[in-house]
Structure 1
C-alpha cells in the first residue's frame, strides 16, 4: 500500500492502493466486473456480520478496509471470503479496543452468509467453537497481518464527516439530517474498493455533498465548500462513479433475493466463479 505523502496529515490519511497493486489485481485472470462484485460481497458480509454483533460503525469500517487491502494484495483465488471476513472482524475488534470472542464472530459471519439481508439484532444461533474453527481464524489472522506488514493504521470518514459539518456552520437541525444521510453513503463506500482508492476526507466530503443535494440545502452560501477540506471535483467524480457501480451491484442482488431468486454471487458460488474465470484466462 502507498504510504501517505504528507507527514503532517498522517492522522487523517490512509495507505492507498498503488497503481502496480491495482494492475496486478486486474491481471490475475479475473474480470474487473467479477473483482468489483467480490469486493462488494466481502464488504457487504462484513457490514451485516458487524451489525449482528452490534459493534460500532468505525470498527466495522476498519474491518472492511483491512479486508479490501488484504484481497487487493493477496487476490481471491486462495482465500475463502467468509474466513477472511471473520479474521478481519477479529483483527479490527482488537485494534479498536472492542474485543470479541472467536465464537461470536464465527457465528455472526455464518448467519450473515446464510441471510444476505440480515439486519442488526438478528438472533445468532448457538454454535460450538471447535478447535478447527479457531485454528482457521488464527491462520487467516496471521496471514492478513503479515501480508499487510502489520500496518493496521486506519482512519474512517465518520468523525471527519461530523467535524466538517460543524466547520461549515451547519445548524444542529440540518446537521442531524445531513449527517444521517451522509453516514449511509459512507457505509456504502465500505462495501467497495472506494475506501482503499480515496482518502477519508474525500469520502466524507462526497458523502456530505450527496446528502446536502438530497436535503436541498446549501453550504457556505453555495461556494465550492469542498475545497476548504482539500478535496477537488475530479476525486469526487471518480468516487461517485465507483459508488454508482457498487449500488448497481447492491440493487441487482437485493432485487433477486426479494423476488425469491438465487443471488448472482452467493458465498457458495464465489469460489467456482473465481476458478472458472481464472481457467478461461489461462487457455
Structure 2
C-alpha cells in the first residue's frame, strides 16, 4: 500500500457540481431540512455519547459524503435516524473512543422520543416530567436496531468507497491564529463556533471546500465580528485561499443563523420526523 502523502492529511476529496445537482434532483422538498436536522441529531448524539468534536465532525462529514456519493435507493433504504446512527458509530469506531451499539441505540431512542430536547422533534418544547417509557428500549427492539445499525454501517462504507479519512479545519484554524500573531481566547472561541456551525450548512461546506479555506473564512468573519484587527493586505493568500472562496464562505457562515431560524419556523408548524 502506498504511503499517505503529507497533503492528504490536510486535504479532502471535494464534491463536484454534478454530484450536488444529482443530490438536489433526487431529494424531495424536505431534503435540505432533513440533512440539516440529521447533522444536528448526529451532533447531539455525539455529545451524549461523550465523543470529541473531531469525532462528531468526522461523523457528519461521512454522512454528507454518503448523501452525495450514494445511490438514491441506498439512501432511501434506511431512515435518516439510522444513517445518522451508523455514521456516529463508524466515526467513533475509527477513533480512540469507540462506543457500543447498545449506547448508540439508547441515545437515538432518547433523541427521537417525546423527551428529546431537539427542536425539530419537539418544536414546542419537552413537557416538565417526560415519561421514561417514551424512550425505553426493550431487548427485542435493541436486537432489531443493532442489526439494522450494522447493515447500515456497511452500506455507508460502500457508499463512500471505504474512504473514511477526513481532514478537519480545527487545528489549522488555531495554528493560523498563532501565525497571525493574535492572542485572543474570544477570537478562538468564535472561530470554533463558526467551524461547528459550518457542519450544519445546507451548502455542504465541508465537502465543497478544503480545511484551510474553512479555517481562514472562520477567522476572517470572527475577527470582524468581535473587532480584532488582523494584519494588513491579503493575509489569506498566505494560507493558499483566494478572495472568491473567502467571500463565498464568509457569506455562507454568516447566513446560517437566518437559515436555522427559517427552519425552526417550519418545524413549529410541522414537526420533522427522522424515523
How high is the TM-score relative to the length of structure 1? 0.80
| Mapping 1:69-108, distance limit 5 Å | 69-74=65-70, 75=72, 76-108=75-107
CA gap 1:213/1:149 in 2 versus in 1, 3 angstroms:
same
Bigger drift between 248-257 and 14-23 goes to 248-257
Match of 1:234?
244
State how far apart, in whole Å, the 2-side matches of 1:168 and 1:152 are. Answer: 32
Separation (CA, whole Å) in 1 of partners of 2:94 and 2:55:
9
- The size of the alignment, in residue pairs, is 250
197, 206, 211: which one aligns with 1:188: 197
Q: Distance in 2 between matches of 1:219 and 1:55?
A: 33
CA offset at residue 35 of structure 1?
3.3
Is the 2:60–2:199 Cα contact (8 Å) retained in structure 1? yes
Question: What corresponds to 2:260 in structure 1?
Answer: 250
Q: Shift in Å at residue 262 of structure 1?
A: 4.4
Alignment of 1:28-177 (within 5 A): 28=26, 30-31=28-29, 34-74=30-70, 75=72, 76-114=75-113, 115=116, 116-117=118-119, 127-128=137-138, 130-171=142-183, 174=184, 176-177=185-186
- Distance in 2, matches of 1:242 and 1:36, equals 15
Q: Which structure's residues are more often helix, by fraction?
A: 1
Taking structure 2 as the reference length, the TM-score comes to 0.82
Q: Give the Cα separation in 2 of the matches to 1:255 and 1:19.
A: 30
- Residue 100 of structure 1: how far off its partner (Å): 0.3
> Of the candidates 212, 215, 227, which is equivalent to residue 201 of structure 1?
212
Which consecutive residues of structure 2, in runs of 5 or more, have no partner in the other structure?
123-129
Matched, 1:210 2:204: no
Please point out which of 263, 266, 272 is paired with 1:265: 272
- Give the drift of 1:56: 0.6
Q: CA deviation at 1:230?
A: 0.8
Q: Distance in 1 between matches of 2:138 and 2:178?
A: 47
Let me know the Cα RMSD of the aligned residues: 2.5
- Per the TM alignment, residue 197 of structure 1 is displaced from its structure 2 partner at its CA by 1.0
8 Å CA contact retained: 2:33, 2:263: no
Match of 1:21 in 2: 19
Alpha carbons 1:67, 1:88 under 8 Å: kept? yes
Question: What is the match of residue 280 of structure 1?
Answer: none
Verify the 8 A CA contact 2:221 2:250 in the aligned structure 1: no
SS in 1 for 2:26: coil
Report SS of the residue matched to 1:54. Answer: coil
**Aligned mates of 2:200, 2:52 — CA distance in 1:** 16
1:210 Cα deviation after fit: 1.3
Q: CA–CA distance in 1 between the matches of 2:31 and 2:211? A: 22
